[in-house]
Amino acid sequence: MANLRPFRVLQPTTLAEATGALAQYGDQARIYAGGAELVLLMRHGLLEPDILVDIKRIPGLNAIRTTGDVVRIGPTVTHDQLEHDAGARKLLPLLAEAVATIGNIRVRNVGTLGGNLCFADPHADPATPLLVHDATLTLTRGESSRQLRLDEFLIGTYETAIEADEILAEIQVPPLPVGFGHAFLRIERYHRPTLNVAVAAIRDDGHVGAARLAIGCVGPKSVRLEDLETRIGGLTLADACRVIGEAKPELTELLDPVDDGLGSAAYKIHVACALLARGLTQALGPS
């Protein structure tokens, strides 16, 4: 059937109205922004909402603002918009580069950062660099809000900490510390990432001064590799890459990859380590 199963559309003009609709209709209602994932699920009968709560008519939700040097991104900002935003490109080049790789040009014109994060597909791109940035989120219900770190927000496959009557109202992204280089590397099939890594790092007299490492798509959600970050601090690049290469067993334990159509678990871990090492090299820049 070429058209979708019938539904009603509500078009609230405030966040409180929107969360009120979620509270009122419960399971029957879904937030609708770009619909990049939602419409797909509806077409395949995996979701059958009776009501779509279109949040694109709430003023300000598609804004990219800066407070100090923290970039505040509204949930309905599209990937294309973020990729080309002058402020985001200047303050958050890692994130801007990463969202430019999402899906394809058509998906990027409608898909939103908020929708991407709330859908929490393991094979997604923005969460990985956002973890390197130590991003935080604002979740709103009615007139009240709460703040979460992104790593607290992401729980598992298609699972986040958002409540049924909450809306993701804003994503706050601090820039990387001064002097940090960055890299975002990924491999993909069919317009979705098989694996991605985000790295930010700074040299200290020929050694790794500090590094932030995040990996996505291999486990149920993107994660920071804090233990590995600590172990490579102070090492030469060559030693750091060796340590990364030797981290295969611990990464396998941490990420619990599966054999599937995108590759064997061993393949994924092998590529993960290769991309982490390449990313670190790229982030540290020429010596």
Partner 1 sequence: METSTDSPATVQTMPLTVTVNGIVWNGEVAAEEVLLELLRERIGLTGTKRSCESQVCGACTVLVDGKPVSSCSFLAFEVGGRSVTTVEGLQSGDRLDPIQEAFIRHMGFQCGYCTPGQMMAAKGLLLANPDPTYDDVAEWLTGNTCRCGCYPAIARAVLDAAEVTRRA
Query: Which of 5, 90, 146, 149 is close enough to bind partner 1 by CB under 8 A?
Result: 5
- Asked if 239 and 206 touch (Cβ cutoff 8 Å), the reply is no
Q: Which is nearer to partner 1, 74 or 257 (CB)?
A: 74
The angle, 0 to 180 degrees and rounded to 10, between the axes of the packed helices 265-284 and 237-245 is 170
Query: Which of 24, 63, 69, 105 is close enough to bind partner 1 by CB under 8 A?
Result: 105
| Minimum distance, C-beta of residue 33 to partner 1, in the bound complex (Å) | 11
DSSP one-letter code for 43: H
| Minimum distance, C-beta of residue 1 to partner 1, in the bound complex (Å) | 6
Query: Which of 67, 86, 190, 286 is close enough to bind partner 1 by CB under 8 A?
Result: 190
How many chain residues touch partner 1 (CB under 8 A)? 26
- Tokens 């990464």 sit on residue: 251
Q: Which is nearer to partner 1, 43 or 203 (CB)?
A: 43
Report 8-47 residues binding partner 1 (CB under 8 A). 8-9, 35-36, 39-40, 43
* Token representation of residue 82: 């973020």
Q: How far apart are the C-alpha atoms of 267 and 281, rounded to whole Å?
A: 21
Q: Parallel, antiparallel, or unpaired for β 181-189 and 136-141?
A: unpaired
Q: Which is nearer to partner 1, 107 or 167 (CB)?
A: 107
Of 227, 260, 7, give the one whose Cα is nearest residue 157. Answer: 260
Q: Which is nearer to partner 1, 64 or 215 (CB)?
A: 64
Q: How far apart are the C-alpha atoms of 79 and 102, rounded to whole Å?
A: 8
Considering only the stretches 89-97, 98-106, 119-127, 133-141, report the one whose residues sit in contact with partner 1 under the rule CB under 8 A: 98-106
Q: How far apart are the C-alpha atoms of 30 and 225, rounded to whole Å?
A: 33
Of 120, 128, 103, give the one whose Cα is nearest residue 279. Answer: 128
Query: Which of 61, 91, 94, 107 is close enough to bind partner 1 by CB under 8 A?
Result: 107
Query: Which of 103, 115, 175, 279 is close enough to bind partner 1 by CB under 8 A?
Result: 103
Q: How far apart are the C-alpha atoms of 49 and 69, rounded to whole Å?
A: 39
Chain positions contacting partner 1, by CB under 8 A: 1-9, 35-36, 39-40, 43, 50, 52, 80, 103-107, 109-110, 190-191
